[in-house]
Amino acid sequence: MFTRPNVTATRLPADSALLSRKQRGDFLDCYSVPSTATPRAAAEIITSFPGWAQVLVKLRALITAPFGLSQVGPEAADKLGPFPVESESGTELIAGFDDKHLDFRVSVRSEDGVVSLATWVHPHNIGGRLYLGLIMPFHIMIVRDALARVARNDALRTPPHPA
């Protein structure tokens, strides 16, 4: 039986490449969980949405299609789900893209037994700010669930301690 992983809101580390993008009026959040996963392995788990989140993504696609918003992200040689990978180091992977209403990137970091997932959003206009406000409760739910799945994956890979 698994205990519920301790996902906590935290600050993005000061050396994150994502911080250089932040401007006045931008959104930036960060959540962390104990895990030894690499940034790439964690990002693959994070972007493997469970069924309930896939339903939300499909609903988003239906609602936003008339506004011309991207549904699958731009073409790229390296993608995680719909997100093109922009950069990758031993400790951080950044993915995301620019769209009509906003630019966004996610950072998946792994350091010292902690995986962090940060989201940066730069709204372009009132539509981007409205969209961000509407999806925020779902964003938090999806991020917290994604990191819990990363931690649970660690627990599955770690052999139990002998009694």
Q: How many residues does the chain have?
A: 163
For residues 68 and 100, the answer to whether their CB atoms sit within 8 Å is: yes
Nearest to 140, CA basis, from 37, 7, 2, 6: 7
Strand partners, 49: none
Q: pLDDT tens for residues 63-104?
A: 766 666 666 666 778 988 888 999 999 999 999 999 888 999
pTM to 2 decimal places: 0.85
Q: Taking a C-beta distance cutoff of 8 angstroms, is the pair 93, 40 a contact?
A: yes
CB 112 within 8 A of CB 119: no
**All structural domains of the chain:** 8-155 (3.30.530)
Q: What's residue 32's pLDDT?
A: 97
Tokens, residue 150: 């990363």
Residue ranges in the chain whose pLDDT is less than 50: 1, 159-161, 163
